[in-house]
Amino acid sequence: MTKTSMPQPAESDRPAPLPAWARSRRIFGQFVFAVLLLLAAGSGVLAGLLFVYSTNLPKVAELENYRPDVMTQLYADDGTPIASFALEHRVIVSYDQIPQVMRDAVLSIEDRHFESHVGVDVIRIVRAAVTDLLEWREAQGASTLTQQLSRRLFLSPEKNWRRKVEEALLAIQIERHFTKPQIFTMYANQMELGYGNFGFEAASEFFYGKHLTELTLPEAAMLAGLPQNPNIYSPIRHPERCIERRNRVLDAMLDNGKITRAQYRAARAAPLGLNIQHWNNNVAPYFVEDVREFLEKKYGEEAVEQKGLRVYTTVDLKMQREAEEALRQGLRNDDKTRGWRGPEKNILKTPIAGADGQPVTLESYVDDDWHGAPDPDTMEHGLVMSVTSEGATVRFGDYSAHLTPADFAWTHNPDAHDIFLPGDLDTFLIKSVKGRAVQAKLDQIPDVQGAMLVLDNQTGAIRAMVGGYDFNTSKFNRAVQAERQVGSSFKVYVYAQAFLDGLKPFDTVVDSPISYPSAAGIWAPHNYDNKYEGSINLIRALAESRNVPAVRLLAHVGIDQVIKLCRRFGLTSRLVPNLPLALGASDLTLLEHTSAFTTFPDDGLHIAPRSIDRVTDYDGRVIDEFRPEVTDVLPAPIARLMVSMLREPIEYPTGTAVRARTLAAKYDIAGKTGTTNDFTDAWFLGFSPSITCGVWVGFDDHRTLGDKEEGSHVALPIWMQFMSQALAEQPPAKFTDSPVLTSPQVVDQILASTATESVLAERRGTANPVTASAASTAKTTLPAVPATADTTKAVRAPDTSTPQP
């Protein structure tokens, strides 16, 4: 085949080439189109990302009603703060309560453009982004104060691009909804500053013991440096790092023109000057813990730890301190009667490794108790350095004492070599400090325990509560949690029922041997001294706390009647329905027993004990008011007669509490001892017209206190020490309607006093009058009571105390 050639265009038909400027214009247009296309695509992607990220963001508008977790604060009866409960210790302040120096310090180090940006600082973001790209990491901080707040309130602390975008979006929203002062105030109240403190006011009170408004420049700078990392810059754990961070804040304040060069130099030279104030201090710890448990049961744990309740309690701080001092001193005194137990340890016999891993020496040993000069009237550990025939030299850090035999005379061993060895770590009572010389006496931490409770008679308010020797070593509250046999102190309820049934103090009862059949055999109560006095009146029977008359009396009035009366007295513990009940064979708590005793000075009314007056929310709105709960237990004349009867253990020449007569010479007081079988529990419960105080002493494991360790020897001295201090600070008060029982005519006068002018009697309403037969002066001798098996069980009766020579 023949190939056909296509015709070729003539040279003149070809288009002319474009000029250079036209070609450049086309290329530029294509470039612009590509850029616009990329920008459009990027904008779409960015919009999509922002939509995705923003859809799950919290609603910033909810911050208008946001209230951060705040501390629940407890106050004493005079308004003094005594304790706080919280997961986050926070004290809310307003913008006006934040001093200018604090604002300047925070903004200079955290966000100097705070007043001008819209939530994000573009310049800082660009600078941080460049650093992140160059170093290929996501760690460069560029967050504004508002971004930090958004992260703290809504986001996790992890560092990644998604969180940064969300943080920026939230910050912009926060800036749209709130003013700068509002944002700064939220930041100042929200940020974590270490040791459970949140917000600058809480941190100021914790680290410096003062309010924000009282801070100096270096103190404000220190606090302003903590938000970046409160652990790394902790002024307690890392003071050097903390000072470096504080000085960096001062540098920023100087660069920002907020302080002068002179202020800068003075502040940099200042020490940290900490004055740590722990939130949970040692004021009334057993009482505080009891209140906390009550609040959590009533309002829930979340409300107590996060909602900032304001709890106004009934505790009297002066009485509380006096009660703690009296109990601790009494327990130490009683503990010494059982002898010296020896040193706590010997650092030479049992070597202790020091910081370098080597055993410490006598010269290098440091004890946790040693913080500066020892405080007089406190217990501190001392290290025995040397021993001679004349005594021992003891070191207390940089201080020392020389003990003579008089300083450890209570051990009944005058030879120091039998008591001390070099390296012994013992406990000493510091008497005085002069220069580096200490005067001290050997002591020891008691292993015996005790409890004390003080109630206001007319209101039932708990004025003092001590649940043990040391809350730090044992948080078990023996004032409210321990149920112990009460011994002869239970007899008051038996006598009260007897008087309700018409018996009178000068009626007689036979104190002679008697026995009762029981399921375990014959049970025969006996008196503490194993003696019997024959026919005696009820005054002497109670004053001397004789057992057999009490058992006969219970059999006469009826066990069930006494138990029913006890319930009206407020006793809720189980009461075993048998004759040993008269001798305190059932267990009670100190709280219920002491509260029941208030019925006598309260003209027969029982007012339930309470530890709280009122509870409000953080803003002061009252949530609950706890008013006295009153129960009519005894007619007023019977209650007054019981007060007179309970004066007899003190006033009667052979009364079990006769050692308190010196106190009774100054004040009207009454009370009853109690000692249980084998001397495992010692009690004294007594009252004045205004307050009732109960004391218990014993071992937690129920072992014996020792022979003759009775309520009159162990518990009564503690009660006397406290009451002598407490009553000296109160207006004089008398048992005007309860005189000492000198004759049957005095009894008649008491039983005839049906009218009363007391406020309590006005609340009483109608009371059962005393019958004519009860007011009669005729004497009665209790009839013989047949013993029946169904009135007893196989329970051994506790012994009671009797007066000592």
Catalytic positions, written as ranges: 110, 488
Compute the half-sphere exposure of residue 709: CA atoms within 13 Å on the CB side of its CA.
25
DSSP, collapsed to helix, strand or coil, labels residue 622 as strand
DSSP, collapsed to helix, strand or coil, labels residue 630 as strand
| CB-count exposure of residue 460 (10 Å: 0-12, 13-18, 19+) | buried
CA distances from 70 to 79, 80, 116, 622 (A): 19, 18, 31, 17
Token couple for 755: 């009218």
Q: Which residues are CB-contacts of 158 (< 8 A; sequence separation ≥ 6)?
A: none
CA distance 92 to 90: 6
Residue 311 in contact with residue 615, Cβ under 8 Å? yes
| Strand ranges inside 184-314, DSSP E | 192-194, 197-198, 310-313
DSSP, collapsed to helix, strand or coil, labels residue 379 as strand
- Dihedral pair phi/psi, residue 263, rounded to 5°: -60, -40
Q: Which long-range contacts (CB under 8 A, 24 or more apart) does 241-250 make?
A: 242/272, 243/272, 246/218, 246/221, 246/222, 246/272, 247/221, 248/109, 249/105, 249/108, 249/109, 249/221, 249/222, 249/224, 249/225, 250/217, 250/218, 250/221
Measured CA angle at 693 (ends 688, 696), to 5 deg: 145
CA distances from 226 to 112, 191, 257, 341 (A): 17, 9, 21, 49
Going by C-alpha positions, the residue among 480, 684, 454, 704 that lies closest to residue 572 is: 480
| Strand ranges inside 506-546, DSSP E | 508-511, 516-518, 521-523, 534-537
Q: Which residues are CB-contacts of 574 (< 8 A; sequence separation ≥ 6)?
A: 586, 587
Residue 328's identity, in one-letter code, is: R
Which position has the token pair 């409300």? Answer: 303
DSSP string over 23-86: HHHHHHHHHHHHHHHHHHHHHHHHHHHHHHHHHTS--GGGGGG----B-EEEE-TTS-EEEEE-
| 399-403 vs 424-434, strand pairing mode | unpaired
CA distance 789 to 653: 38
Beta-sheet strand order (sheet of 612-616):
81-85, 72-75, 310-313, 612-616, 622-625
CA distance 470 to 480: 16
CA distance 677 to 704: 9
CA distance 650 to 639: 18
Residue 142 in contact with residue 110, Cβ under 8 Å? no
Write out 132-185 in H/E/C secondary structure: HHHHCCCCCCCCCHHHHHHHHHHCCCCCCHHHHHHHHHHHHHHHHHCCHHHHHH
